[in-house]
Amino acid sequence: MQVSSIVQADQKQFSALENGCGLVRWSNATLIRHSGPDALDLLHRLTTKELLSVTEGRSQRTVLTSARGRVVDAFLVAHVTKNQLLLISDSDNSGRTVSAIDYYTILEDAELTDLSSSHSRISIVGPEAPETVKTVLGLAVGAGQVGTAELDGTLVTAASDTSRGVGWIDVVSETDAVDVEGSRPTLYARFESVGAVAVSPDNFELYRIDNGIPGSDKEYGEHANPIESGLLDLIDFDKGCYVGQEVIARLDAYDKVKRNLKILESDGPLEAGATLQLLADSKPAGIITSASSLQTEDGVYLALGLVRKAFVASGTALESNGIAVRLR
């Protein structure tokens, strides 16, 4: 008989994310330089958020959807300097985003450079993220702001992302400066030295689920529209046309969205990709999109799921693979 051991969330890491500052290292995030006088206007025309007001030194997350209204990618647009944007996305498929933007670049004076393999990203997450960034980089990065600093001759960009619902600043630099041990302290080590706590991928995943933060190719992606996948705040319904706008506006206006993103609780670990069913009569009720293998301090397991709207009322009893599931 195989007995699976219970692994609990690391309280030091969790506490840092909730009350202090956690360091989240991305192994393969999408980082794209989009430069040229037409770059911002092009993204404004292609994506869900009003971007013309994102002036130099400002940042705004937005969603690129297909003509069918499905999510291609969600990325932070950091307006670093005049005509120089840095696009930061959680997706590990930078080629998909570069190809999609490039497809619509016809007469525009705008150039895309994929920095994903030459640069690295750390997310500074938690209420003390701004103070930590200020201590290490000497930059005051307020909500929706971008700053750059030079450390040992290397340019570092810090950009605030207000879309996550928690304190969040992305720091991007050349990979050598961020991660590679050498004669100088890495950027990662500099943040740790001032009290930021390194957060492991599984503990960050639990934190993300606990805060209902949608993940790339999990809650959102080509399988879902941005409304149902928890990206509603990244849609400006009065901004005018963008790719997929007609479909998304129709979904909203006629209340045609069939699923909602919900946080799920259970007494046993759930499985991403598994179906959700009504406990009473096994009717299909949705799908689990992310599941944490860690148990919380309260002894429950958390997951995210796209749940059919008919069954999203609090207290509805669901199950997945024989495990009872509660909607938070």
Partner 1 sequence: MTTMSTERAVPINTIQITEKAASKVKQFAADRGMDEFGLKVAVKGGGCSGLTYVLEIVDGPESDDKVIQYHGVDVYVPKKAFVFLAGTVLDFSDGLNGKGFEFTNPNAKSTCGCGTSFSV
Q: How far apart are CA 72 and CA 252, in angstroms?
A: 19
Pick from 105, 135, 154, 175: which binds partner 1 (CB under 8 A)?
105
6 scored as a contact of partner 1 (CB under 8 A) = no
Q: How many CA atoms lie within 13 Å of 200's alpha carbon, on the beta-carbon side?
A: 10
Q: Cα 203 to the chain's mean position, in Å?
A: 15
Pairing relationship of beta strands 30-35 and 317-320 according to DSSP bridges: unpaired
Interaction of residue 308 with partner 1, rule CB under 8 A: no
Q: Name the residue among 38, 32, 31 with its Cα closest to residue 110.
A: 38
* Listed residue (292, 291, 259, 222) closest to 72, CA to CA: 222
**Shortest distance in whole angstroms from residue 107 CB to partner 1:** 6
Residue 242 touches partner 1, criterion: CB under 8 A: yes
User: Between residue 12 and residue 51, which ones bind partner 1 under the rule CB under 8 A?
Assistant: 42, 45-46
**By CB under 8 A, residue 270 contacts partner 1:** no
- Which one, 59 or 65, has the nearer CB to partner 1? 65
Measured from the CB atom, the residue of 108 and 319 that comes closer to partner 1 is: 108
In the bound state with partner 1, the residue whose beta carbon lies nearer, of 257 and 272, is: 257
When asked if residue 236 is in the footprint of partner 1 (CB under 8 A), the reply is: no
Output the smallest distance, CB 241 to partner 1, in A.
5
Residues 6+ apart with CB under 8 A from 20: 126, 127, 128, 195, 196, 197
Question: What are the angstrom distances between the C-alpha of 254 and each of 48, 76, 136, 165, 290?
Answer: 19, 29, 49, 27, 29
Stretch that binds partner 1, among 11-19, 145-153, 193-201, 236-244 (CB under 8 A): 236-244
Name which of 43 and 158 has its Cβ closer to partner 1: 43
Q: Is residue 287 close enough to count as binding partner 1 by CB under 8 A?
A: no
Tokens for 42, please give them: 């092009």
- Smallest distance from the beta carbon of 245 to partner 1, in angstroms? 5
Take residue 206 and report the two structure tokens written for it.
Answer: 């639990």
Size of the site for partner 1 (CB under 8 A): 18
Residue 237, token pair as written in the block? 């319904």
Closer to partner 1 by Cβ: residue 99 or 117 = 99
Closest Cα to residue 21, out of 123, 124, 121? Answer: 124
**Contact (CB, 8 A) for 60 and 85:** no
Task: Please choose, out of 116-124, 159-167, 222-230, 243-251, the segment that lies near partner 1 by the rule CB under 8 A.
Answer: 243-251
Residue 106 touching partner 1 (CB under 8 A) = yes
Among 10, 92, 108, 217, binds partner 1 (CB under 8 A): 108
Q: Which is nearer to partner 1, 247 or 263 (CB)?
A: 247
Binding range to partner 1, per CB under 8 A, among 99-107, 143-151, 162-170, 299-307: 99-107
Structural element, H or E, at residue 94 = helix 94-103
The whole-angstrom separation of Cα 139 and Cα 116 is 24
Q: Does 67 bind partner 1 (CB under 8 A)?
A: yes
Stretch that binds partner 1, among 213-221, 244-252, 260-268, 277-285 (CB under 8 A): 244-252
Kindly state whether residue 244 participates in binding partner 1, applying the rule CB under 8 A: yes
Backbone angles phi, psi at 191, to 5 degrees: -70, -40
Cα–Cα distance between 278 and 286 in angstroms, integer? 9
Which residues would be at the binding site for partner 1 (CB under 8 A)?
42, 45-46, 67-68, 103-108, 241-247
